[in-house]
Amino acid sequence: MAGRILSGNKIRDQILDELRDEVSSLTAQGVQPGLTAVLVGDDPASQIYVRNKIAACDKLGLASRTLRPPADISTEQLLEIVEGLNADPEVDGILVQLPLPKQIDADRVLLAIDPAKDVDGFHPMNVGALATGKPKLVSCTPAGLIEILKRSDIPISGQRAVVVGRSNIVGKPAALLLLAESATVMVCHSRTRDLPAAAREADILVAAIGRPAMLTAEHIKPGAVVLDVGINRITDPAEAERIFAREPEKLARFREKGSILVGDVHPTDMAELASAYTPVPGGVGPLTIAMLMSNTVRAARLRRG
C-alpha cells in the first residue's frame, strides 16, 4: 500500500494564511514588516527564486524590494550595501541570494548581515542560538521540515531520526531542530560506513545529500516517514529510465520535455515503503519560502521587543 503524501503546498498555504492575519495585526499597530532581497548579477535560477519570494511578500502585505547590483561588483562594494541595510530601520529582513559571483567572498558578506535581520538563518550567532536551545531566526528549509511533521500529526519525540547530509544550510540545522524536539538523531554523510544499514534505523529519514535518487529501497525501513529535501533536474535518458522504470507516466513526461525533477530518494521505492513522505516537487520546497516569510515577521517582532 502506498504511503501518505505530505503535501508541502497545503501546509504552506496554512502557514501563509496565519501569517496574513499576523501581518494585518502588526500593520494595524503601525508596523509593516519589510524584506529586502539583494540579487547580484543575472543568474536565471536566482532571478526566479527572488521573484517568487517577493511575490510571497506582496501577497502577505509585507514591504519588499529587490536591489540588483551588477555581476562585477566587488566584495567591499557589496559589504557597503549590506551595512546600509543593517542601518535602515525600515528593513527587518535581509536576503542575499546565493550563489554569488566567484569574485565575491560570500562568507564575509553573510557574516556582515545583522543577525537580527538574518532571515535565512545562516549567521553563526543564529546557528549558535539554535544549538544552545534558544532559537531566534532558523534556517528556512529545516524549519519547514519540522512544520511538515507537526502539522501532519507525525510524532517526533522519542523517534529515531536519521539525517543524510551535513550541510550548514539543511543537514546540520535539521539535526539540531529534531534534537530540540526530543528525537534521537544520527547525521550521516559520504563517509558513513554502511549507509543503508544506518538509514534503515530511521523512523524519520531526512534526505539532503544533493544526489538524484541516491537513497533506494535498501535505505528505507518499511513504515518510516521520509522527508526528501533534494531537487535535482534529470536530463539524461538512461538515468530517467533507471529512476522511473516503474512509472511510465513520468517517463513519458520526461521524453516530452527532455527533463524532470527528482529528489534524493528513489520516488517509487519511497512511495512503496514509507508510511508518509514528501513528493518532489510539491513537498519540502514550498515550505522554504513560507518559513522565510515567517522569519521576516518574527524578525519584525523581535527587533521591536
Average pLDDT of the segment spanning 34-52: 93
Residue 282 in any domain: the answer is: yes
CATH code at position 241:
3.40.50.720
- Alpha carbon of residue 119 to chain centroid: 12
Residue 171 in any domain: the answer is: yes
> Which grid cell is 182?
526530543
Q: What is the pLDDT of residues 232-260, one digit of tens each?
A: 999 999 999 999 999 999 999 999 999 99
Q: Which of 116, 150, 172 is the last residue of a domain?
A: 116
Average pLDDT of the segment spanning 146-162: 98
Q: What is the pLDDT of residues 271-280, one digit of tens each?
A: 999 999 999 9
Residue 65 in any domain: the answer is: yes
Structure confidence at residue 305 (pLDDT): 79
Helices (H) and strands (E) in the chain, counts: 12, 11
Q: Are residues 37 and 162 in the same domain?
A: no
Question: Cis ω on the peptide bond leading into residue 222 (within 30° of 0)?
Answer: no
Residue 175 in any domain: the answer is: yes
Structure confidence at residue 75 (pLDDT): 97
- Model pTM greater than 0.75? yes
Residue 45: pLDDT over 90: no
DSSP code for 260: E
Structure confidence at residue 114 (pLDDT): 98
Domain limits at 87?
30-116
Q: Are residues 60 and 183 in the same domain?
A: no
Residue 262 in any domain: the answer is: yes
Q: What is the pLDDT of residues 79-108, one digit of tens each?
A: 999 999 999 999 999 999 999 999 999 999
Residue 239 in any domain: the answer is: yes
Residue 42: pLDDT over 80: yes
Q: Are residues 144 and 107 in the same domain?
A: no
Active site residues per annotation: 53, 97, 120
Residue 39 in any domain: the answer is: yes
CATH code at position 80:
3.40.50.10860
DSSP one-letter string for 179-214: HHTT-EEEEE-TT-TTHHHHHTT-SEEEE-S-STT-
What's the pLDDT band for 43 if we cut at 50, 70, 90? confident
What's the domain count of the chain? 2
Q: Are residues 147 and 92 in the same domain?
A: no
Q: Is 233 exposed, middle or buried (0-12, 13-18, 19+ CB in 10 A)?
A: exposed
Q: Are residues 147 and 208 in the same domain?
A: yes
Task: Give the Å distances, CA to CA, from 84 to 77, 175, 284.
Answer: 11, 34, 33
Q: What is the mean pLDDT of the chain?
A: 96
Q: Are residues 112 and 145 in the same domain?
A: no
Average pLDDT of the segment spanning 140-167: 98
Average pLDDT of the segment spanning 25-48: 93
Q: Which helix (H) or strand (E) holds 227?
A: strand 225-228
Burial 87-108 (b: 16+ CB within 10 A, else e): eeeebbbbbbbeebbeebebee
Structure confidence at residue 1 (pLDDT): 62
Residue 78 in any domain: the answer is: yes
> Which grid cell is 6?
505530505
